[in-house]
Amino acid sequence: MSDPTGFPAGSPLATLRRISTRPRPAANEVPEERCDMCAEPVPEEHGHVVDLNSRRLMCSCRGCYLLFTADNAELRFRAVPDRYLHFPGFVFTTADWDSLQIPVGLAFCFRNSVQKEMVVFYPSPAGATESDLPMAAWETMLASNPDLAQVRDDVEALLVHRNDDGEFSCHIVPIDACYALVGTMRNTWRGFDGGQEARAALADFFDDVDRRSRPAKPVGDAQ
Ligand SMILES: [Zn+2]
Ligand SMILES: [Zn+2]
């Protein structure tokens, strides 16, 4: 059965769309958002857990979230960390960018530990456009920037951004933040270039990433 929001049922985007299209409760109403694992009510700001089998992003209460924070546990579920890191010395060329074949100014890359492959996706009016990241492109990125290796499988993404001056930046961001941006872009995109609302949403997103980020330490140091 397909989700009424238009995304395949159970996809992370379906979950987020369900959330973003749900009417906001009035101030005097109890919010109805609940933990997808134990059905306890959760506050508007809450953590998420990735189901590695279905790729579904699940809303979770603090208790359920904490069950799945271990990094290397052989578990089906994994908590999405809330850290944001930036890489001030990021080395990336226009040729590297071109090899990703991304038509917009930003791309998210993450490693799917079940499929054992790198995935790249970017927001578009249709939602997330996703493809396999060629291994050669990933290896080139990693050879020039070995510190990127600290991105965690399945739950974090590398956000590569090209600004209007053609300069590149790279951040590690939580995967739920990436999907939230995709949902926002899908809802706000108008016309050929996205329009004012989508551009404002994107600017807000990058402001938020900058505000939350701290510099990444070299691989091997504790974060
Ligand atoms: Zn719970
Ligand atoms: Zn949620």
pLDDT digits (tens, 9 = 90+) for 37-72: 999 999 999 999 999 999 899 999 999 999 999 876
85, 159 Cβ separation under 8 angstroms: no
CA–centroid distance, residue 120 to ligand 1 (Å): 30
Q: How far apart are CA 16 and CA 19, in angstroms?
A: 5
Q: Is the pLDDT of residue 15 over 80?
A: no
Residue 192: what pLDDT? 75
For residue 173, the cross-strand partners are 157
C-alpha of residue 12 to centroid of ligand 1, in Å: 18
Could you tell me the distance, in angstroms and rounded to a whole number, from the CA of residue 59 to the centre of ligand 2? 4
Q: Would the pLDDT of 73 be above 70? A: no
Q: Which of the 8 DSSP states describes residue 217?
A: P
Are the CB atoms for 176 and 55 separated by under 8 Å? no
Q: Which residue has the tokens 């004012």?
A: 196
> Rounded distance, CA 201 to CA 203, Å?
5
Cross-strand partners of 214 = 85
Q: Which residues does residue 28 pair with via DSSP β-bridges, in sequence order? A: none
Residue 131 CA, ligand 2 centroid: distance in Å: 25
pTM (two decimals):
0.82
Q: Which residue has the tokens 């989508």?
A: 198
DSSP 35: -
Helix or strand (DSSP H, E) at 85: strand 85-86
CA distance 200 to 184: 11
- CA of 109 from ligand 1 middle (Å) equals 29
Among the bound ligands, the one closest to the CA of 36: 1
Which protein residues have their CB within 5 A of the ion that is ligand 1? 35, 37-38, 40, 61, 64
pLDDT at 6: 43
Q: ∠ CA 21-85-65 to the nearest 5 degrees?
A: 55
